Chain A
Amino acid sequence: MTKISKASETESVQSSRRDFFRKSAAFSVSAMAAASVMAPVKIDAKELKGDPAILEEQPWATKLGYPVTHNLYGQPSPYEHHVTRRNTKLLSSGNYYASIAMCPIQDLEGIITPNGLFFSRCHGGVAEIDPNEHRLMIHGLVEKPIVLTMDELKRYPSVSRIHFIECPANGGPEWRGPQFPALQFAKGMMSCAEWTGVYVKDIIKDLGLKPNARWMLAEGGDSSHMGRTVPIDKVLDDAMIVWAQNGEALRPEQGYPIRLLVPGWEGNLCVKWLARLEFASEPWYAKEETAKYTALKKSGKAIQHFYANEVNSVITSPCPEKPWTHLKKGDIVEIEGLAWSGMGTIEGVDISFDGGKNWVEASLKGLVLPKAWTRFSYIYKYEGKPLLLSSRARDDAGHIQPTVKHERDVMGVESVYHRNGIFTWEVTAKGEVNNVQVLS
């Protein structure tokens, strides 16, 4: 009985509200919003003490927002418009069709990069492929060469994995010394996402791979027809063909409709707009395997097929874009950063306040996964003194980030690729942050 009476009470309240609206002659929602009689009550906030953001009514609190029909594909807040990929002429082969757009890693949280901010590298512009007219061909040293449509490919059992992709030239312009007064350009040739696709091994197990198939060529269907050679061991371990990124179809910049994903290895091996896989007994020597993507050592010999991006880390807060200029002596602040290894899982990260002379262990936080970005954190009491902030990561393959000095001793300064020496920020007495290298 009580329930019924409550229900009827509610009904009567609702009907009286309806009556009120009828009487007010404002039948439509938009007419209501426009009616001056409905304007918010004005308070003279100057009389009150406190934050105007609290004391004064804000327009978004007193007017309707946009309807759910406004953005059928959601967009970031317009206040976040500065969070974008960025480019510079220096990193372009003459034009922006063979170039790179850097990921704003200074503005990212956690370990997942939003798809619109994922760093983007292409060799012949970003192809916009019609998925209905795209095919994947697998041939060479297999008993049964096949062609797959995109729909057929997606019927294989899917796998979702979180992996970073990093261009091996990330930080490459800084072999001879620091150059970029910004984290986005010093380390922004990388991003991390959850990828969904199929293991290449799940497809080729039915094709009769011949015993002398030692190498696989992966080739794109875009205008650059870029190809790269992958050894069979990686193909049979964790190489994937992916069609989705963070839960939606790949973006064109990431190779829509499909790209190869070679977890942890040079981003360039993760061939976009993938059209062809060929197996052979000898490696190919593709155009990105000679003048580019080889690391020249002091001896004059160059490392070719330099597969994995080695263990690496960088402090993302503070950084030049996010300095400590607002801090006062005695403030408690979180130092945060990213660690990653293409050779395995991050085991730990040490940080130093004196340029690598003395170290303390930082905490890892969040998910710690193989060949994925890993967050590290350290709580620090700011003293307003100059600092040299460094981070040093290590992985479960036994690889530890080398000092800049050690890396130069082994590689020289002309390698271009695979630079993973310890990264250092100078924090000045004012809290400004500069990109420096410790050569001790």
Chain B
Amino acid sequence: MFKSYRNMLLSAVVVAAASTTLFAGSDASRTYANGKKVIDGGSTYPVKKGMTSLYHVNEKAHKTSFKLGRSATKDEINAWNIDVMPDGTGLPEGHGTVEEGDALYDEKCSSCHADFGTGGAGYPALQKGNAYEGQKSLTNQRVDGNDEGPIRVFGTYWPHASTLWWYIKTGMPHPHPMSLTDNEVYALCAYIVSINEIKIDGEELDDDYELNRKKFLKIVMPNKDGFIPKIDGKNGVENARKFFNDFKNYGNGTRCMKNCFKGKPVLARISGTGISDYQPPISEKKELPKKKAGGAAEHPGKKVYDASCAVCHGTDAMGAPMLGDKKAWAPRIKQGMDTLYDHAIHGLNGMPPKGGTSLPDAKIKEVVDYMVSKAK
């Protein structure tokens, strides 16, 4: 068995009690069968005498070829192969200007990420000023009264722009992913690169700047060298193996048993009451739950609300009136149902037409009825 803490530092007294842990039937190993160290710096458990650790193994089962499934067709692979890599693999042709991106952003993104990508209310910021300046903040530590932390937004932190294209195409807008055309994604990328003040080939992106595939691949992110270990290229995996097998890179304790520090322990405490807005509140009481009154049939608008509207109206974080918030709804209800229907169907401020859905007007009206009913 590999004895793990044979090199441990004992600052005072050696522990008297011997470790009692035994691994019946199997030994942990720090190397794979090919002689290489385990990539994460940890242990692996080769099968010996039909066992791995405490588990029995049917070795024949794992040596048998099952040959299940069928060949994937080229069209199937193309349909699902949606990832985009830094070298441009998977990045389609297309184009879009900063100005087009700005308009699209206001329509489809600003309701969460706020104007100019400033973020807020839990939604990530997409920029915090000039990315080259912001990148310098990554050494900031919020200690000793310094409350300026590192800025970790797209422009200041991300190593590759390819992630932005891939993310927007397959994950955004959050309630309606996969709804943007390639050109729209290029336009949004152009806008986001511009508000981060990132230059492409030395050029600042003004409103007329048109981004395309070729220019996109020329984007050099300010923090491209900010990550360890280096995982690119032929030696990428080996670099990771070396890095994680050196505990100094992320710290390791020592098994001191007596007088491990001088004086009394220095304590950090929760400031104030800490974070305790838990839902539901913590309870250890074993009692029957309180029965809820009613049991009326579900409102016809609830289903659509849950599927398409709750993402914004479920909280008060986004400026949208929250479901059940009587105070927020009262002035709106005063405007009359026709006005509410009109705003819901045609959009207002951050609210996209029909909440970004393509549902018939009648369905949208049902949702409005439902939301109003909850505010009375």
Contact = CB atoms under 8 A, between A and B. Distances in A.
B40 A357 contact: no
A306 B22 CA distance: 29
Given A285-B162, A307-B244, A436-B268, A321 B171 contact: no
Given A231-B240, A343-B43, A392-B253, A148 B69 contact: yes
A269 B329 CA distance: 42
B174 to A, nearest CB: 7
A282 B85 contact: yes
Nearest to A346: B21
Contacts, number: 417
B278 A87 contact: yes
B260 A148 contact: no
B25 interface: no
Nearest to A438: B265
B241 A407 contact: no
Interface in A182-213: 182, 184-185, 199, 202-203, 205-206
Contacts of A296: 138, 150, 152
Given A82-B285, A157-B58, A275-B80, A223 B177 contact: yes
A145 B257 contact: no
A178 B269 contact: yes
A139 B157 contact: no
Interface in B248-304: 248-271, 273-280, 282-289
A364 B273 contact: no
B270 A399 contact: no
A396 interface: yes
Given A284-B85, A285-B159, A286-B163, A400 B23 contact: no
Contacts of A439: 265-268
Contacts of B311: 95, 97
A233 B263 CA distance: 46
Contacts of A219: 82-83
A171 interface: no
B158 interface: yes
* A94, A148, A177, A395, most chain B CB atoms within 10 A: A94
Nearest to B284: A321
B207 to A, nearest CB: 27
A411 B368 CA distance: 50
Interface stretch (A17-25, A34-42, A246-254, A367-375): A367-375
Contact of B141 (A202, A414, A422): A414
Contacts of B166: 286-287
B21 A397 contact: no
A395 B265 contact: no
19 contacts: A80-B286, A90-B275, A94-B318, A138-B72, A145-B72, A181-B274, A231-B39, A287-B166, A287-B171, A307-B240, A321-B284, A343-B42, A345-B23, A367-B54, A396-B2, A402-B251, A410-B248, A410-B250, A410-B251
Given A237-B44, A400-B254, 19 more contacts: A87-B278, A89-B315, A124-B177, A139-B77, A152-B69, A157-B66, A234-B40, A282-B232, A291-B157, A302-B228, A304-B228, A307-B40, A356-B261, A361-B17, A369-B54, A400-B8, A414-B149, A436-B269, A438-B266
